[in-house]
Amino acid sequence: MIFYFSATGNCKYVATQIAKVTNDNIMSVVDCVKSNHYTFHMSKNEGIGIVSPTYALGLPIIVAEFLKKLKISADRKPYVYFVATYGTTPGQTGFFADEYMREKGFPIDAKFSVKMPDTWTPVFDLSNKEKVNRINYRAESQIDFLLAQIKSTACGDFMTHKVPRLAAKVCYKIGYESIRKTKHFNVEDTCIGCGLCEKKCPVNAIKMSHGKPVWIKEQCVMCLGCLHRCPKFAIQYGKNTKKHGQYTNDTVKINKIMETERLYLRELRMEDKKELMKVLSNSESMQFYPHPFSEEEVEKWIEWNLDNYKKYKHGLWAVIAKEGDVFVGDCGITMQNIGDKTVPEIGFHIIMEYCKQGFATEAAYACMEYAFNVLQYPEVFSYTTIRNIPSQKVAEKLGMRIYKYFEKNGERQIVQTIMNPKLVEKE
């Protein structure tokens, strides 16, 4: 079992990479805390991994409290390891984590550290994306090293750039208590009231009031997840965060973009290529396209959407069925040229074996709601060849009406649209 806490994606990425080597399950500390789940049994060959960021030279308060309450039973003494991600120094995170684990009879066998972008933007500037990418690139060799050590169950303290224990204790006790005060936050007028910060706060310190986030606790974890994930970058901490930029680890998507009764949507990643080819390279699924996509075209399709996420904050997302965590296709919002203007268009591609189960309509409806409520588009569109009756029926179920027809690729296209109901009500 690998326990991790991650606000911006760094630790989840490391935990995911370890899981690929150990075949262990990964478990979010936040999910454990919110569900009051602290008791675990380790099977005979299962190890215990703890992956945490470094806050004020120590552990985030949520990680510390989780480790205090953690109850573990095991068939035999498991291999226990700790990994700290850090920007300047891992402080004494390994020592603090080991103190908690020793009390439970499971001392840490190996400690590692990985230098990644420091997300404490009240101080550190992450606006230079090339510099950030270089830090993440260099982190890969460090991750490769710890993967090899964990795979061989190596023991020892492999952490680098630590500080003296006394200094870490003083900084943690005084510094962390101060920076955790939520009075340092402020919200700009660009806030759209989407409520993402309230939903994702690991300690429920935020409540929406009159369409704006309000901090209802004097202190929080101070992970800055609300600041870095805000779609409008409307949440700030002090005077410097605005100019220092936002950051999330692009290698891993730690949050679901949206969720429905049966599905959730997340960002596509290159690892989805094989599953995505089941629809984009299938001749029947692609009968309304010029041709089924080659493997290289599917890769470019994913890259196109990754660029869209950065440029527009949306694109086509992976559609995952909750039951079995199964990849069923893609669906989302892309900017398309329809006649003489560029508009947000809802599109989808569902793998054949999952068609006729209502997944396309369910996902497309969620995307429409997201376009209106989060992105605040005044109108969304759908277009397809006149022969594609199934897609037109999905658009009709969303409440879309025929907007116009136009020619593309030598074939007549039908355009359907629907207005944002909030704007219609105002009129």
Q: 313-324: per-residue pLDDT in tens?
A: 999 999 999 887
Residues 142 and 211 reside in one and the same domain: no
> Does the pLDDT value for residue 272 go beyond 80?
yes
Euclidean distance between CA atoms 238 and 123, whole angstroms:
10
Residues 143 and 13 reside in one and the same domain: yes
Residue 205 backbone class (left: φ over 0; alpha: ψ -120 to 50; beta: rest): alpha
Residues 238 and 336 reside in one and the same domain: no
Residues 169 and 184 reside in one and the same domain: no
Euclidean distance between CA atoms 215 and 57, whole angstroms:
25
Q: Is residue 253 part of a domain?
A: no
At 158, which CATH number?
3.40.50.360
Output the DSSP codes for 400-418.
-EEEEEEEETTEEEEEEEE
Output the DSSP codes for 288-331.
TSSSPPPHHHHHHHHHHHHHHHHHHS--EEEEEETTTTEEEEEE
CA nearest to 299, candidates 255, 268, 257: 268
What is the average per-residue pLDDT within 203-221? 97
Q: Give how many domains the chain has, as a whole number.
A: 3
* Among 160-164, 269-273, 409-413, the least confident range: 269-273
Residues 174 and 230 reside in one and the same domain: no
Q: Is residue 173 part of a domain?
A: yes
Domain end, chosen from 144, 178, 212, is at 178
CA nearest to 178, candidates 299, 65, 55, 91: 55
Residues 170 and 290 reside in one and the same domain: no
When computed from its CA atoms, the radius of gyration of the chain, rounded to whole angstroms, is 24
pLDDT score recorded for residue 160: 97
> Does the pLDDT value for residue 409 go beyond 70?
yes
Residues 104 and 24 reside in one and the same domain: yes
Euclidean distance between CA atoms 84 and 63, whole angstroms:
12
Domain end, chosen from 123, 154, 178, is at 178
> Does the pLDDT value for residue 426 go beyond 60?
no
> Does the pLDDT value for residue 253 go beyond 80?
no
Residues 188 and 170 reside in one and the same domain: no
- Could you count the other beta carbons within 10 Å of the beta carbon of residue 335? 13
Q: Is residue 236 part of a domain?
A: yes
Domain end, chosen from 188, 209, 244, is at 244
Range of the domain at 133: 2-178
Residues 75 and 21 reside in one and the same domain: yes
Q: Is residue 375 part of a domain?
A: yes
Q: Is residue 227 part of a domain?
A: yes
* pTM more than 0.85: no
Residues 168 and 310 reside in one and the same domain: no
Residues 42 and 111 reside in one and the same domain: yes
Q: Is residue 250 part of a domain?
A: no
Q: Is residue 64 part of a domain?
A: yes
Q: What percent of the chain has pLDDT over 90?
A: 83
